[in-house]
Structure 1
Amino acid sequence: MIRLRPLTFAAAALAIALPALPAETAGAPGTVEIAVVANRIAAGEVITEADLEIQAVDARRARGALTLAEIAGLEARRPLTPGTPVRSHDVQQPKLIKKGQAVTMVVSHGGLTIAARGKALEDGGKGDIVRVQNIASQKIIQGEVTASGIVSVASGGLAMLAGL
């Protein structure tokens, strides 16, 4: 039977429980390689891998930085400048619907699907619940953004879509 000293066991348990940090780069103690902004990104612009580059930075500056895989495909909440790490508060899911945009409201129940035209009353990203005005009835309903220009309404909204 192998006996571990209590301190050795505690250190091993802590190493397993903590999330992995970016690896230190060879030859530069205290630096890590992370994804940083390669060129200026405007607020509202969707970030691609081409907008990012891997750079060695001081480990303290890398705290909270997202990985390249986590950043790509998200939308910048504010302008981002070259050389800066991207953190969760800098990005959001892309807006698939903009306030005032014409949208298609869809409700499905069983094998029946009904679609109606509407106008978005607020911005929304995939999965967001937004208010939409039915063009025909002028009634306001809520639905979930499922794709660009598409709002899915719960089956209880069937009468609202039909303009009743």
Structure 2
Amino acid sequence: MAKRVFLILIFMLFSVLAIVDLASANITALEHEVSSQLLEATPWNEADVEIDSLDLRGYSSATDSFDAVRVTLPRPIMRAGKVTVSVSLYRGGIEFKKFWASARVRLFKDAVVAINPLRKGHEIMIDDIELIRAEQRGSQSITSSVDEVLGMTARRPINPGDIIKRSYITPMKLVKRGEIVTLKIETERLRVSSQGKAMQNGARGEVISARTLSGKEIFGTVTGPGELRVAF
């Protein structure tokens, strides 16, 4: 009798372990499928995206076997963050279960960060910054290349370790209002240099107004420190 009870207990134990293993395998496979389909649904390079915090609490029967999964998004993924999706399970080509799940989409991009403290008005140099891989949250507009930041001016104090957003910087003003500037007047056959007075501040490539020594108002493109190119 005791031996029979022992064998029954052993059988029950292995049955429970088999159910646990099946449930674990099903959940692992389901997590993989949902994450993979979410990854494919994002508009970014898959190497830049991570899917985590996957919540399958709507999946109540972990021992249900399935041979196909379909993930449906209520709306396209346009930004990183939490998403809610509909998950359908199929067996033999027939949908037998449908539930809601959620996950977090994380987007990683190259980002420029400050190495040194940058005061307002500081011209940013190569030793002030470095390029790292960082998570991009929400719709913030961050700088993603060193060339985008070099030579720019800090519009506000920036601390070491801060990711430099585009709103933090502005082009360096190479011409200041009221200063004497060199006017390079160019035509198809003639190039003449003269002096004038800048009537506006200007960064490289900007068109600003100036006055010649005779008082005539002209417009020129900032080409360098204290220089305007005037086309006729």
TM-score (norm 1): 0.68
The reply on whether 1:112 has 2:112 as its aligned counterpart is no
The reply on whether 1:18 has 2:44 as its aligned counterpart is yes
CA drift of 1:41 comes to 1.3
Q: Which of the numbers 95, 119, 138 marks the counterpart of 2:173? A: 95
CA drift of 1:47 comes to 0.9
Corresponding residue for residue 51 of structure 1 = 128
CA drift of 1:9 comes to 9.3
The reply on whether 1:41 has 2:118 as its aligned counterpart is yes
Distance of aligned partners of 1:82 and 1:10 in 2 relative to their CA distance in 1, 3 Å threshold? closer
Corresponding residue for residue 219 of structure 2 = 142
CA drift of 1:97 comes to 0.7
Percent identity over the alignment is 26
> More strand by proportion, 1 or 2?
2
CA deviations on 1:63-119 (whole Å, 9 max, x unpaired) are 432124222222212222222111111112221111122111121112211221111
> Residues of 2 paired with 1:23 and 1:50: CA distance?
30
CA drift of 1:61 comes to 8.4
Instruction: State the one-letter code of the partner of 1:117.
Output: Q
User: Where in structure 1 do 4 or more consecutive aligned residues deviate above 6 Å?
Assistant: 8-11
> Residues of 2 paired with 1:11 and 1:20: CA distance?
6
TM-score (norm 2): 0.50
Distance of aligned partners of 1:127 and 1:56 in 2 relative to their CA distance in 1, 3 Å threshold? closer
5+ residue gaps, structure 1, are: 1-7, 25-29, 156-164
> Residues of 1 paired with 2:224 and 2:191: CA distance?
16
CA drift of 1:43 comes to 2.2
Higher relative contact order (CA 8 A, sep 6+): 1
Which secondary structure state, in structure 2, belongs to the residue aligned with residue 146 of structure 1? Answer: strand
Distance of aligned partners of 1:153 and 1:75 in 2 relative to their CA distance in 1, 3 Å threshold? same
> More helix by proportion, 1 or 2?
2
Count of residues in Structure 1 that have an aligned counterpart in Structure 2: 140
5+ residue gaps, structure 2, are: 1-35, 51-105
Which secondary structure state, in structure 1, belongs to the residue aligned with residue 127 of structure 2? Answer: helix
